[in-house]
Amino acid sequence: MTEDHLAFYQGRKVMITGGLGFIGSNLARRLVGLGADVLLVDSLIPDYGSNLFNIDGIEDRVHVNVADVRQQSTMNYLVKDCEVIFNLAGQVSHIDSMRDPYADLEINCRGQLTLLEACRYNNPGTKVVYAGTRQVYGRPDSLPVTELHLVRPTDVNGINKAAGEYYHLVYNNVFGIRACSLRLTNVYGPRQLIKHDRQGFIAWFVRLAIEGQTIQIYGDGSQRRDFVFVDDAVDAFVRAGADDVCNGEVFNVGGSEPMSHRDLSALLVEIAGSGRVEYIPWPPEKKAIDIGDFYADSSKFTVDTGWTPSVALRDGLERTVAFYRRHWDRYVDPPGRAGGRA
């Protein structure tokens, strides 16, 4: 284990793909603070989550390169000299992946291969930390879920994210590009997309609560999940990028407090002081890819890197609600242009 994973980044050149997105931009803010030379690569595809306001206040301390990770010659150039690459670019909507599986394939499979091929031929000494997902496990056989659980995705997005992860491990094992994957559970916090509801329910619930609208819970809301505040997720990336013990491995990165949708939404309404909760039957297309209860055992990552989640759910939600209230017009389209329920 690196003695000081924070000092590690001083003066180092790092790249974040998807760097204008939710986790990427929060990670950028942290790395800038640690003295890293930060390059953000982002394609700014509408509706995917990138937002130039996400780097408000650090825009003069990062390099932004608008590019698509699927563009091989671009990536061949950009990866040069990067000592650590945080690979967060991706299509993250499960529902979108079932409507257009090809777009998901292009971004989550081809895009990962493009980055890894760029490293293979132009910077094989680099380190890559991939943003994986607990979605690869599908409906769990037992709880909490460890990394020994079968990979059995329930939607196209989960399949392609699994393939993207496997590519990283194979390039680690075969070509010596040091790579690992963090299988994130439900990450929430400031700078997440809230323009539409297709990128996870928690950000959408935050928006509805702030707007004083009705949060619709499918079924009885008893399904339990774990939640990671984005600062904790960022800390996980920072540790994994600095620590070669992670190479060739996958790690769960989950929260410490599993909570039901019912309790979560009640807590959120309480914190926001607005909004209300309604229970409705499952829409068939969502039920078909739902995974029921899920919470992760992250002890492997804790043992290897010392990481633990430090932000309690109440605290994290308070900070999230406060952030969006402060910067509402940066994350929600003006009236008449709202994305609404898709």
Residues engaged in binding its own copies (CB under 8 A): 98, 101-102, 105, 109-110, 113, 117, 148, 150-156, 158-160, 162-163, 166-167, 169-170, 173-174, 285, 288-289
- Tell me whether residue 151 or residue 332 sits nearer to its own copies (CB atom): 151
Sort strands 224-225 and 214-218 into parallel, antiparallel or unpaired: unpaired
What is the smallest separation between the CB atom of 67 and its own copies, expressed in angstroms? 18
Q: What are phi and psi of 229, to 5 degrees?
A: -70, 145
Amino acid letter, 274 = S
Q: What are phi and psi of 151, to 5 degrees?
A: -85, 120
- Cα torsion through 104, 105, 111, 117, rounded to 10: 170
What is the smallest separation between the CB atom of 106 and its own copies, expressed in angstroms? 9
- Tell me whether residue 136 or residue 268 sits nearer to its own copies (CB atom): 136
What is the smallest separation between the CB atom of 113 and its own copies, expressed in angstroms? 5
- Tell me whether residue 109 or residue 272 sits nearer to its own copies (CB atom): 109
For residues 240 and 251, what is the distance between their CA atoms, to the nearest angstrom?
10
- Tell me whether residue 151 or residue 266 sits nearer to its own copies (CB atom): 151
Sort strands 259-260 and 224-225 into parallel, antiparallel or unpaired: antiparallel
Taking each continuous run of H as one helix and of E as one strand, the counts in the chain are 13, 13
Residues in the chain: 342
- Tell me whether residue 165 or residue 231 sits nearer to its own copies (CB atom): 165
Which distant-in-sequence residues (6+ apart) come within 8 Å of 222 by Cβ?
Answer: 260, 261, 262
What is the smallest separation between the CB atom of 123 and its own copies, expressed in angstroms? 17
**b vs e for 121-139, b when ≥16 Cβ sit within 10 Å of the residue's Cβ?**
ebbeebbbbbbbbbbbbbe
What is the smallest separation between the CB atom of 299 and its own copies, expressed in angstroms? 18
What is the smallest separation between the CB atom of 174 and its own copies, expressed in angstroms? 4
What is the smallest separation between the CB atom of 17 and its own copies, expressed in angstroms? 18
- Tell me whether residue 69 or residue 268 sits nearer to its own copies (CB atom): 69
- Tell me whether residue 29 or residue 149 sits nearer to its own copies (CB atom): 149
For residues 318 and 273, what is the distance between their CA atoms, to the nearest angstrom?
11
